[in-house]
Amino acid sequence: MELAGHHILITGGSSGIGLALARALSQAGSKVIICGRREDRLKAAQAAIPSLDIRVCDIAQPAQREDLFSWVSENYPQLDVLVNNAGIQRSIDLSTGTEDLFSGPDEFTTNLLAPIHLCGLFIPFFLKQETSYLINISSDLGITPAAEYPIYCAGKSALHTYSQCLRHQLRHTGIHVVEILPPAVVSGLNPEGRAKNPPRHMMAPDDYAAFVLRGLEAGYPEILTPRLQELKQRPWGELDSIFGKMNPPDWPNPL
């Protein structure tokens, strides 16, 4: 993928990985549009990166996803890259039954159903382009889950599977399906949970964005950290032992 000359929509682009990618792709010579729920954060991002265009949108709401598609297709007919980045992560104690499960925002909708819906909306639009890209940001926790984030991990695992299926179904079209599987990156994702139980290693967003851009330029269908590349080469059964190491008996998980 050439990094310059694209028109790119990034969901959840006002902070974390999304903002870092918006900055890096803008600097590389592409036009970037970001969307998010909070107008103040979007305007702050635009003040820091004046070339950005912004749109308020809560992708957890189906009607707002459809409005976003209509607005983008009308105002940016040359759009050729969608980055499904928006996500939420919650620490959930499943032993409480449904009390913890339904007491916060719907992770499955934001992390899985919204990207699937947006891909479905944009596929007919992208088929009209000579070349286009659907980029889904899942997580390494979708491959090797952390028990503290059960619904997050389940959603990201499903997004990984969906991306594989989508890539296969679109293989004879001009739409390229790319999956990005980040490690722990410094961001606003689950600040309370991370404060109580900080991951051992966290990448800076700009460093990770640079890593992603190298993967995009190289044309990788999956952009994996070296650790995840190594894990994917192991026999499937070894993932169970890795889960045990990541989730020892003294839960919560000390990642």
Residue 111 belongs to domain with CATH number: 3.40.50.720
For 63, the domain range is: 7-246
Catalytic residue, candidates 152, 162, 208, 220: 152
Answer whether residue 146 is part of any domain: yes
- Residue recorded with tokens 């983008």: 72
- Quick check: is 255 in a domain? no
What is the pLDDT at residue 196?
57
Whether 254 maps to a domain, the answer reads no
Whether 252 maps to a domain, the answer reads no
Residue 2 lies in a domain: no
The tally of domains found in the chain comes to 1
With respect to residue 253, please indicate whether it lies within any of the assigned structural domains: no
For residue 222, tell me if it sits in a domain: yes
Q: What is the pLDDT of residue 207?
A: 96
Show the low-confidence residues of the chain (pLDDT under 70). 190-200, 236-237, 239-240, 250-255
pLDDT value at position 254?
A: 42
In a domain, 180, yes or no: yes
pTM value > 0.75 = yes
Q: Is 152 a catalytic residue?
A: yes
